[in-house]
Amino acid sequence: MSRALFVLMICVATRPVWAFDCTALVTSRYSDVEISKAEPVAPGAFTPSDQSGSDVSTTIFHELPAFCRVVGVIRPTADSHIGFELWLPEQWNGRYLQSGNGGFAGEINYGGMVSVLRNGFAVASTDDGHTGPGAAWALGHPERVIDYGYRAVHLTSVISKQILAGYYGRNSSHAYFSGCSDGGRESLMEAQRYPDDFDGFLVGAPGNDFTGVMTYLLNLEQAAASLQQPLTTAQLGALQKAELARCDAADGLADGVIENPLQCRFNPAELRCRGASDEKCLTEDQVRAVSRVYDDTRGGRTHASLTPGFRVALGDEAAQWPYWLGPVPKESGLSETLSQMFSENFWPFVVYSDPKIDFRRLDLLQAVADARGRTGALLNSVDPDLRALRAAGKKIIQYHGWADAVIPAQYSIGYYEAAEKYSGTDNRDFYRLFMAPGVEHCGGGPGPNSFGMSYDPRPFGAGYDPSRDFNPDHHILAALVHWVEKGIAPEQIVATKYQDDDATKPVVRTRPLCVWPKVARWTGKGSTDEAKNFSCSTANGPNR
């Protein structure tokens, strides 16, 4: 045999299967599954042609590797229609990752798929069993509520791994789930219900007590509706300035970021107008509303605490308050606050099956009881029993922004501590929580907010993508992979703040995120904008 012929045979034998039979996957047969499309996608820019529930004419993802795109529907019941996509890269690293959704889902999470595809993962996502925004799909469709709650994610995992194995001729070496917000809820749901589906779970800002989060948002909407005069931009600025003046330096540094808002003792009454109202003070009505928003959601005659409150967003009101309590900025393109959007969908369609119900008049105590009784078993992922996951050697990394006004950070701390209390031991051998100061919901905010989270930071344009730097010291998904596959648990993750939150611009600050309950403390030497000058400690004040 000639050397040239030998080399040719080797090249043919090792050439990726995708180049030959990607389109053949459309004829594959799996139980309760219909594959509607299987197409090879060339490297470069890619525009999804049939993204559910939105206009994709300008949705262009740049600099993608070559992959096989599989589009399908799973029908476990006569009333189910679970859309999913699976992307199989030409240069596969042997791993499978499933990307979670947000809000009420209703579309494939392409942004969450892109960044991990670039890192060589086979990746899938589901629309959770319905298309389009809102939750009107739940009315009269109890099976679709189950699909949204947990079945869609689980079955997408099962089917995608079957397709993947047939395509590559082998199973994935490791499987991961990554999600934020509702995707964080999904991640914990998988960890609790189906721990065998994945080896590692990345849990971002989870709405795992889903009925509790919806009650919290209903309280925000009712508080906003009670305001006789909404807060102006100038009043929000004055409120934020007063909070920072009182609480910013409590961690030993005045850096524009409140380390732990729960330790901030700020009373909105400090800004009560003493005479005629102006843009630097709050009216009595506004003080009451702000105090209600910051406090826990309360109900009943005893005003018992029902859910955590908005106060973790202290020092970031100017950015977040308008979206959740109004007035909504004109440039946002929104016609209503986000708390109204969630409330007008969840309570009429999911809980009460009555589109005409006036959610603003609901009694909070009764509402949360109804929500938990009717939907909690399907939607809430709050079971603290993680023994099966731990025994199997699986790992969880969870993160939450301290400035999260959508899902207060207390939800993550509460579940993490409940799981540890249930186990009766230190859970850090398999479960670690990282709190991110000054970070809003799943990203953004005044603090260092880039650390490889579960979304693509620049989904609609070209340019530098920090998710490509798959370094476990800076990238939280890489840290999870490193822990699962190398057995090295992360002690800290270095987060980065870019100018204008644009990764193509200079770095403004880096700061370590520490394993809860530790926090980053300045050593007293060197720049406070460099992570190397901080250490993780449980002590108060700078370490000197």
Give the pLDDT of residue 3: 43
Q: Which residues of 346-373 are buried (b: 16+ CB within 10 A; e: fewer)?
A: bbbbbbbeeeeeebeebebbebbbbbbe
Residue type (1 letter), 77: T
DSSP 137-160: GGTT-HHHHHIIIIIHHHHHHHHH
Grade residue 394 by pLDDT with cuts at 50, 70 and 90. Answer: very high
Is there a contact between 350 and 138 (Cβ–Cβ < 8 Å)?
yes
Q: Please list, in sequence order, all residues whose beta carbon lies within 8 angstroms of the beta carbon of residue 293, skipping any fewer than 6 positions away.
A: 219, 220, 223, 309, 310, 311, 325
DSSP 157-181: HHHHHHHHHHHHSS--SEEEEEEET
Give the pLDDT of residue 541: 43
Phi and psi at residue 100, to the nearest 5°: -80, 180
Least confident of 136-140, 175-179, 277-281, 292-296: 277-281
Give the pLDDT of residue 260: 85
Check whether 320 has a pLDDT greater than 80. yes
Check whether 457 has a pLDDT greater than 80. no
Phi and psi at residue 111, to the nearest 5°: -60, -40
Is 295 part of the annotated catalytic residue set?
Answer: no
Tokens 């826990």 belong to residue: 296
Q: How far is CA 132 from the centre of its chain?
A: 19
Is 209 part of the annotated catalytic residue set?
Answer: no
Give the pLDDT of residue 432: 98
DSSP 525: S
Check whether 87 has a pLDDT greater than 80. yes
- The percent of residues above 90 in pLDDT, for the chain, comes to 74
Given the residues 181, 454, 467, 535, select the one marked as catalytic.
181
Grade residue 4 by pLDDT with cuts at 50, 70 and 90. Answer: very low
Segment 437-457 shows an average pLDDT of 83
Please give the model's pTM, rounded to 2 decimal places: 0.92
Grade residue 465 by pLDDT with cuts at 50, 70 and 90. Answer: low
Grade residue 195 by pLDDT with cuts at 50, 70 and 90. Answer: very high
Tokens 């959601």 belong to residue: 297
Give the pLDDT of residue 462: 36
Given the residues 81, 141, 400, 441, select the one marked as catalytic.
441
Segment 219-229 shows an average pLDDT of 92
Give the pLDDT of residue 17: 43
Check whether 461 has a pLDDT greater than 50. no
In 10 A of CB 277, how many CB atoms?
A: 15
Q: How far is CA 426 from the centre of its chain?
A: 25
| 341 three-class SS | helix
Check whether 409 has a pLDDT greater than 60. yes
Segment 431-460 shows an average pLDDT of 81
Higher pLDDT, 45 or 75: 75
Query: How distant, in Å, are the alpha carbons of 170, 244, 318, 416, 485 from that of 378?
Result: 34, 40, 36, 20, 32
Nearest Cα to Cα of residue 188 among 423, 416, 424:
416
Domains, the chain, with CATH or none: 18-211+378-458 (3.40.50.1820), 213-377 (no CATH)
Grade residue 59 by pLDDT with cuts at 50, 70 and 90. Answer: low
> Per mean pLDDT, which of 7-21, 101-115, 284-298, 388-402 is the most reliable?
388-402
**Furthest-apart CA atoms within the chain: distance in Å:** 98
Check whether 268 has a pLDDT greater than 60. yes
Q: Please list, in sequence order, all residues whose beta carbon lies within 8 angstroms of the beta carbon of residue 474, skipping any fewer than 6 positions away.
A: 451, 452, 466, 493, 494, 495, 496
Is there a contact between 169 and 150 (Cβ–Cβ < 8 Å)?
no
Given the residues 128, 248, 296, 404, select the one marked as catalytic.
404
List pLDDT tens digits, range 321-347.
999 899 998 888 889 999 999 999 999
Check whether 503 has a pLDDT greater than 90. no
List pLDDT tens digits, range 505-530.
899 999 999 999 999 999 999 999 99
Is 81 part of the annotated catalytic residue set?
Answer: no
Segment 430-438 shows an average pLDDT of 97
Q: Please list, in sequence order, all residues whose beta carbon lies within 8 angstroms of the beta carbon of residue 3, skipping any fewer than 6 positions away.
A: none
Is there a contact between 234 and 281 (Cβ–Cβ < 8 Å)?
no
